[in-house]
Chains A and B, each alone.
Chain A
């Protein structure tokens, strides 16, 4: 909770310091394809890179530098482990192919700061913070062994570049990389953090 508060205050500070209310932009929609590489202790659950990630951002451009909006999406993680013998606490021996399946659906408030508005290649920094619907399932063979759906805090600092299709256009393509901070305390799991790379296409939705 404390972390959420800090992020919110930091976002507000960033907005105020850049002329928050000098509104001259409009709405854009960005569609993203993303891949995610589990990091840290999340690799104990799934270490495979996820190539199944899609997302959408609806951003309101307050001025040519600053945009504020909402982001959501879906990233699917999956890993199957070779057959192994597991000794259960009650003495039962279980031989199974264990598979872990995780889907994350972040719902984030996002602030984005464009470092070089008007340039051909425009670097940006962004920060998203909010919640994450995480669905975790573990299978022993074809049988569901464990499962949990939780809504928990999520944050995503991101850096990237935006390349407009035409000079000054609100339509363009962007490349970015970020860190998905996703705490998930459950059954010995601490978090499902990952490093994400994404490519997106932006469309203006009118002023």
Chain B
């Protein structure tokens, strides 16, 4: 009887030890936990565009619905960092009413559920977050390529670039680039520079010349 008790204790001990696996998530630094995703319209020649205008606030989108637009210190720093990166790539920042070639919107998507996000919905509702009227194109619809294969259950920084230059001719506002930042600490001021740099580093095609 004693032997079988020993056996049971030892087998349990082995399986407790055996469950000592290295946790892949806990073994990451905040920087390592982050992913940077970009997607662009392959038919767009980014050097054909020379000017841009970036939104002056960040849209907070939760559950595929616009909650509010904010402009706190973090938002301002993020917008400024992105605008600065665009300038370094040769684009000129202009006001919305000066016919910018690119329109850039900055979003903070908050989803607290798990599952694959249908970015189609995100874009279908885009009209509600950023009225095309704000770009001077009332009644126009958005369209373009989307990122749709990643599981989301946290805050995501998502930046979209639109072709305003050809909007009058096509009658639509085409999405030509989307950048997404996810992971730990992305809403810390200190990570803004790294995030914007990473998005541009992997988007070498964004250049005016």
- Residues on A close to B: CB < 8 A? 29, 31, 52-56, 58, 73-74, 76, 78, 80, 83, 85, 90-97, 99, 101, 103, 105, 137, 139-144, 203, 205-206
Which residues of B (150-209) have their CB < 8 Å from a CB of A? 150-151, 182-184, 198, 201-203
Given known contacts A92-B38, A92-B39, A142-B25, A55 and B7 CB-to-CB distance under 8 angstroms: no
Q: Are B150 and A101 in contact, CB atoms less than 8 angstroms apart?
A: no
Query: Which chain B residues lie closer than 8 Å to A56 at the CB level?
Result: 10-11, 14
* Residue from B10, B13, B32, B198 within 8 A of A97 (CB atoms): B32
Q: Are B21 and A101 in contact, CB atoms less than 8 angstroms apart?
A: yes
Given known contacts A74-B15, A95-B36, A139-B24, A205 and B7 CB-to-CB distance under 8 angstroms: yes
- Residues on B close to A: CB < 8 A? 3-4, 6-7, 10-11, 13-15, 17-22, 24-25, 27-28, 32-40, 42, 145, 147, 149-151, 182-184, 198, 201-203
Given known contacts A96-B35, A101-B22, A80 and B28 CB-to-CB distance under 8 angstroms: yes
Number of A-B residue pairs, CB cutoff 8 Å, is 108
Given known contacts A29-B10, A56-B11, A203-B10, A139 and B25 CB-to-CB distance under 8 angstroms: yes
Task: Report which residue of B4, B18, B34, B38 has the largest number of chain A beta carbons within 10 angstroms of its beta carbon.
Answer: B18
CA A61 to CA B104, docked complex, whole Å: 75
Q: Are B4 and A205 in contact, CB atoms less than 8 angstroms apart?
A: yes
CA A58 to CA B38, docked complex, whole Å: 54
Query: Which chain A residues lie closer than 8 Å to B20 at the CB level?
Result: 52, 54, 76
CA A31 to CA B15, docked complex, whole Å: 11
* Residue from A52, A58, A91, A143 within 8 A of B35 (CB atoms): A143
The 9 closest A-B pairs by CB, nearest first: A74-B18, A142-B33, A141-B35, A78-B22, A76-B21, A95-B36, A97-B32, A54-B17, A96-B35
B39 CB, nearest partner CB in chain A, Å: 5
A121 CB, nearest partner CB in chain B, Å: 25
Q: Are B203 and A93 in contact, CB atoms less than 8 angstroms apart?
A: yes
CA A54 to CA B17, docked complex, whole Å: 7
Q: Are A141 and B202 in contact, CB atoms less than 8 angstroms apart?
A: no
